[in-house]
A and B are shown apart, each in its own frame.
Chain A
Amino acid sequence: MRGISFTNQFTLVIASVTMVVLAAAACERREETVEEAAPPETVYSWIDEIVVLQETDTSSAIARLAAGDFDMYAGGVSSPDILEEIQAQGLAFEESFGQSAELTFNPSGPEFEGTGELNPFSEPRIREAMNLLVDRDYIAEEIYGGLAKPRYHPISGAFPDYARVAGEARALEMEYAYDPQRAEEIITEQMERLGAERKDGVWRYEDEPVELIFVIRTEDERREVGDYVANRLEDIGFKVDRLYRTADEASALWIGSHPSEGRFHLYTGGWIATLVNRDQAAAFDFYYTPRSLPQPLYQAYEPSPEFDAHSQRLAQREYSTLAERNELFAEALRLALQDSARVWLVDQVVATPRQPSVSVAADLGGGVSGARLWALTLQKDGGGEFRLGTPGILTEPWNPLDGSNWVYDQMIIRATSDEGTKRDPFTGLPWPQRIESAEVTVQDGLPVTRTHDWVTLEFAERIEVPEDAWAGWDPVAQEFTTVGEEHPEGMTARRRSIVTYPEDFFEIMWHDGSQISTADIVLGIILTFDRAKEESTLFDAAQLPGYESFIRNFRGIRITSENPLTIEYYADNYFLDAEANVSTFFPTYAHGAGAWHQLALGIRAEINEQLAFSADKADRLEVEWASYVSGPSLKILAEELEQAQAENYLPYEPVLAEYVDDNEVAERWENLAAWYERMNHLWVGIGPFKLTGVRPVEGTVVLERFEHFPDPFEKWERFDEPAIAQVDIHGPSSVVPGEEAVFEIEVSYDGRPYDADDIDTVQYLVFDATGALQYITGAEHTGDGIYRAILDAELTNELQTGATRIEAVVVPLIVSIPTFESREFVVIP
């Protein structure tokens, strides 16, 4: 007994000491916070070295950030509790909006063939009513703790397509806003029509209670969302069998089973976008029609003929103007809500936590880890070493062609790479990085528009592909075939892009000291063809899907000048933005930058069946998946390096010999051998940071600033923060029918009027006392950041007496997130 009591005392002592220490530390931290309240102005400086460390646990990562061990944690935070901790610790964070949550319904029925049970969600009206049954505001505010925004549509509220139809989308959101009574009425009516009856508050079908199998994901807030929705369904008389499942367990039910088996009724689905997507028109076809995917669930979709036609037209770009597309789009949004094979719930806000002294660009879709500009904009107070925590590192082998595609590996890889153009993190539009200028020509009647002046846009009735343009590849002869050879009758394209590179382009250096050459670019073109050709020694079946989407639209490519380098590209596909129609050629592949001599090692090893670039081929050959940074691959690549240097090897010599200088081949091998000797790896990048340290087991990577990177770092500084518009509405609090009422919409950013040149549209919507949309139109620009909404006498005359609402929708050009602001007024008799 004495021992136990002593233990208790000791435990108390320990607990007290811990509490005291924690409290002292908290006080200390609070003092620090107070001190930080008035810091000297932060002087951002560029980073010399990035040390990347793996930390799999988010809570530990936040503690390490708070203790100053990390400058930033790349892992996204979507938990409100952790966000609270981030804020309590005085840390800052970047926001992104690429994740979403929805309810996926099983549309099979009305009876499941497997069980004979009733599936209420086979009835579109019941699915549609589910929109009214769930309170998205509650889900966003209470379950996600504000880290989410209500979502009603299959397109993200943060991407440009939503902004293009913001007014119509907003009106639909009002129509489908939370209204549980109406939901119950509709569901009751439809359930009775299906032959069910409600006894003692419980829906019964053929004397059995209607039990819904609800597959609820457990890893994130979808668990609470699932419980919330299940409660709502139970409230209106359904029995709900809640199956809490992890991702893989759930997949066996929702996508692995046949819908007619009846193994699930609904599922808490989720989707991720890793970048701002400027054209989401294919979303309707993808999410709601049986055309998009072969899985049984998708095959069970039965969209209405009207919805089906709209979806197809949007997916296949069967429209000739942007206005026509917007009309189709707005209608498709309405039809999607009527179909509701999925009920969209929220766009999640994902936070990337960082020190307040850090400045970095974050993509609105993919966050910091997805931003193409993160390494080019990274700064911190004092500069020097930057410590970056990531949930995963070197998750899979790194090779430029088919290496690791994991978000956090790609984030680091991007810091070592460069591109012809860089995607704007706030709009998704490309900006020139390694190209000087571009000319785009598209066929007459295509709905292409231009936003920036670095590209020219022209329309032509007919675009001929020149005879000498490359049209294909002969893997046996190892030569390009030309348009003239393959299409003697001539060929046309719907789009032509001509890209001119800067005069000093060939002064750009690879990290091993080699200068870039046209051969680096041409190798990329060859590999696109060669790896997908069955006769090739490099054939890889895993390339076929990507190759098919490329070759379907590819019409020709031609290098018209090497000084300055000028490349023409012809294709049949096009994009809505002229900027996106620019096809740049730069030796950065899907998974990293690759110099011709660096890739040549992997090519030799794959031909010898010692390594393979893709996981798929590596498994088939039962060899290692090529890694240029570590592991058994390195030894094989190093042996190839030795031999290649001895042979003065040039891959695809019949073609590439034309594009290398006399001494280039020998110099490259010498540089690479020296690099390997120094760095002990073969990852030769071309970006702002070079890879200098790889410790795979210890989970650390070190990047150092590349001293020969050609750009001043200030080049992309303007992308450190998205200029999301702030909107205020001023105007009368009451309106008399038949009298004109004027409201002033004030648009600003950071306390200053929003530049009118950066604004796309300012619209306003008027909802009457019943919540129905009465009016939608554009506001008139009257001064610096000021727009006027005029409700003329005719309109006010039509308004019902009571509380009325005017809502402004501001769509900027420089950031894809529109801003909504509303003001209520009373219509008095």
Chain B
Amino acid sequence: MHTHHVTEQPAPPSSSDSTSPTGKGDSSARVVRYILGRLFAIAATVAVAAYIAVLIANMGGYVDEIRYAQIQERIVMRVGADEELMELPSERRAELVEAMVDRETTRRGLDQPFMIRSFRYLGNALTLNLGRSHDMTSDSGSRLVRLIILERLAPTLLLFATAELGLFGIAIFVALYLSRRYGSKLDRLFVALAPTSAAPSWFYGIFLILIFAALLGWLPFGGMVAAPAPANPLLYALSVMRHLLLPVAAIIISALFLAVYSWRTFFLIYSSEDYVELAKAKGLTSAAIERRYVLRPTLPTIITSFMLSIIGLWTGAIVLERVFNWPGIGTVTVEAINLYDTPVILGTVIVYAYLLGITVFVLDFVYALVDPRIKVGLGRNRS
């Protein structure tokens, strides 16, 4: 299927545009135009997604109804348990409860029509101001949605970046290795284990905790750092790494076999291309063949599948973080949904939307870097 590439091989150009048909000035303008276009498209997508999220998060007014009732129930429960307020004459207590409900309703903006609030939410979301939460506070005690999310974003990114990088490195290495040993026992083992990736990471997490924390006691049950946390930054970092081991292992185990299986298959397909045979015939070393003629053309496909798997992993993050008691954004999201804290829900959605947008944006450039056939702004592939 890629035999037409043969004519451009065996010396694929570097990512710089030595094959560019136009001059440097044109090229820069084209790149800028392309970047602006892409940014605009992503921003528009994020804005539409955010407003849809605003509408969904309100569920056609149902959430307002729930939140109003929530206020009432909390106040009733609070008054029932407050010996001082129970001391008051019942009629006076009822008046005070009414005033308390009114004050809470106003505080959360429920006295304003939803449409007005929806545009305020959207504006906050798009400008990344994110506003104030209704009920939740950040770990350090702030009501600013920005801080609620930011404080948890770092641990989540640490966990997933570590896991993804580990997964990427290990999977590439093993896949390449297996592609050279097609049909070996190890290869068959990985093929056989590929279906185990059907189970989510948290599932493996539970087993890992059971074995390595509960039974063997070698590794912690969860959390991000030992308690009390070491004061020395180096020891702190080591402690975080120790706490990362099990959740990272869970993510890698849950995705490794399928990734290796599929990538090794790509490698196998590409390594049987005619140009590879030609390179072999020319007497190039196997390392050079692998780097130039197998890995390079396979990378776009691998990166795409890798990015898709990352996006898939976000969905598993919520449960995984809970299983490992990891102070990440997943647990914040669940809490916000449970509390119907719309600003926080929207905040997390918008952060995900931006992260996704940035990922797509970066991916465009990564493609251009790794795939000589793709050139930005030309509107078509040159292969």
Known A-B contacts A286-B86, A552-B88, A619-B132; A21 and B215 likewise in contact (beta carbons under 8 Å): yes
Docked-complex contact B141 and A549, CB < 8 angstroms? no
Of A25, A545, A546, A630, the contact of B141 (CB 8 Å cutoff): A630
Q: CA–CA, A247 to B195, complex, Å?
A: 39
Q: Which of B85-113 contact A (CB under 8 A)?
A: 85-101, 103-104, 107
Nearest neighbor of A541 in chain B, beta-carbon distance: B103
B306 close to chain A: CB less than 8 A: no
Determine if B221 is an interface residue (Cβ-Cβ < 8 Å): yes
Q: Which residues of B contact A633 (CB under 8 A)?
A: 141-142
Given A252-B66, A252-B68, A546-B84, 14 more A-B residue pairs with CB atoms under 8 Å apart are A21-B211, A52-B227, A57-B325, A66-B214, A251-B70, A256-B73, A257-B69, A396-B141, A549-B85, A615-B143, A631-B147, A696-B151, A697-B154, A700-B227
Give complex CA distance A315, B192 in Å.
73
Answer yes or no: A553 CB below 8 A from chain B CBs: yes
The CA of A246 and the CA of B66, in the complex, are separated in Å by 11
Contact A277 B141 (CB under 8 A): no
Cβ contacts under 8 Å, B62 to chain A: 252
From B1-9, B47-55, B74-82, the one touching the partner chain is B74-82
When the two chains form the complex, which single residue of A53, A249, A271 contacts B227, counting CB atoms closer than 8 Å?
A: A53
- Across the interface, do A54 and B207 meet the contact criterion of CB distance under 8 Å? no
Query: Who on chain B is nearest to A631 by CB?
Result: B140
Chain B 137-165, CB-CB to A under 8 Å as 1, else 0, gives: 11111111001000110110000000000
Q: How far is the CA of A443 from the CA of B213 in the complex (A)?
A: 64
* CB contact list, B19-33 vs A, under 8 A: none
The verdict on B242 contacting chain A, using a C-beta distance below 8 Å, is no
6 closest A-B pairs by beta carbon, nearest first, are A256-B69, A631-B140, A627-B141, A397-B141, A291-B90, A696-B139
- Cβ of A213 < 8 Å from any Cβ of B? no
Report A243-268 residues with CB < 8 Å from chain B CB. 246-249, 251-253, 255-257
Question: A549 and B72: CB pair below 8 A?
Answer: no
Q: List 12 A-B contacts (CB under 8 A).
A: A4-B195, A49-B228, A55-B221, A69-B213, A251-B70, A256-B72, A285-B90, A286-B86, A548-B96, A622-B132, A631-B138, A699-B224
Pick from B98, B147, B189, B228: contact of A294, CB below 8 A.
B98
Contacts of B140 in A (CB 8 A): 394, 627, 630-632, 696-697
Q: At the interface, yes or no: A7 with Cβ under 8 Å from chain B?
A: yes
Please classify how large the interface on chain B is, using the bins under 10, 10 to 19, 20 to 34, 35 or more. 35 or more
Residues of B within 8 A of A251 (CB): 66, 69-70, 72-73
- Scoring B88, B195, B325 by chain A CB atoms within 10 A of each residue's CB, the highest score goes to B325
Identify B107's interface contact among A3, A63, A620, CB under 8 A: A620
B interface, by DSSP: helix, strand, loop or mixed? helix
Scan residues 172-219 of chain B and give those whose CB is less than 8 A from a CB of chain A.
Answer: 188-189, 191-196, 207, 209-211, 213-215, 217
Contact B227 A60 (CB under 8 A): no
Would A693 and B65 be within 8 Å (CB), given that A18-B211, A56-B322 are in contact? no
Which chain A residues lie closer than 8 Å to B143 at the CB level? Answer: 615, 618-619, 624-625
**Any A CB within 8 A of the CB of B225:** yes
Whether B330 sits at the interface, judged by CB under 8 Å, is no
Roughly how many angstroms separate A397 CA and B144 CA in the complex, as a whole number? Answer: 13
CB distance from B95 to the nearest CB of A (A): 7
| CB contact list, A691-725 vs B, under 8 A | 693, 695-700, 702
Contact B211 A67 (CB under 8 A): no
A residues near B101, Cβ cutoff 8 Å: 294
A542 CB within 8 Å of chain B: yes
Q: Which residues of B contact A451 (CB under 8 A)?
A: none
Chain A residues with CB under 8 Å of B154's CB are 697
Contact B151 A697 (CB under 8 A): yes
Find out whether the CB atom of B229 lies under 8 angstroms from the CB atom of A700. yes
Say whether, besides A7-B195, A697-B140, A55 and B76 are in contact (CB < 8 Å): no
Q: Are A616 and B103 in contact (CB under 8 A)?
A: yes
Interface residues of A in 386-400 (CB under 8 A from B): 387, 394-398
Give the residues in chain A near B91, CB-CB below 8 Å.
Answer: 291
Which residue of chain B lies nearest to A8 when distances are taken between CB atoms in the complex? B192
Query: Which residues of chain B (334-364) have a CB below 8 Å from chain A?
Result: 338-340
- B312 shortest CB reach to chain A, Å: 21
Report Cα–Cα, A272/B74, bound state, in Å: 12
Question: B96 and A252: CB pair below 8 A?
Answer: no
CA–CA, A761 and B96, complex, Å: 40
Decide if the interface of chain A is mainly helix, strand, loop or mixed: mixed
A795 within 8 A of B: no
Q: How far is the CA of A292 from the CA of B82 in the complex (A)?
A: 13
Chain A residues positioned under 8 Å from B65 (CB to CB) = 252, 256
Q: How far is the CB of B33 from chain A (nearest CB, A)?
A: 41
| A316 adjacent to chain B (CB < 8 Å) | yes
A232 CA to B142 CA, complexed, in Å = 49
A295 within 8 A of B: yes
Give min CB distance, B62 to chain A, whole Å: 8
Residue in B69, B137, B194, B228 whose beta carbon sits within 8 Å of that of A702 in the complex? B228
Report if A292-B90 is in contact (Cβ < 8 Å); known contacts: A67-B214, A700-B228: yes
Assess whether A25 is in contact with B215, with CB atoms less than 8 Å apart. yes
Closest partner residue, chain A, to B240 (CB atom): A698
Contact of B94 among A249, A294, A550 (CB under 8 A): A294
CB distance from A146 to the nearest CB of B (A): 26
Residues of B within 8 A of A549 (CB): 84-85, 87-88
Chain A window 394-425, contacts with chain B (Cβ cutoff 8 Å), 1 for yes, 0 for no: 11111000000000000000000000000000
A51 CB-CB contact with B under 8 Å:
yes
Closest A residue, CB atoms, query B90: A291
- Interface 1/0s, chain A 626-655, versus B by CB < 8 A? 010111110000000000000000000000
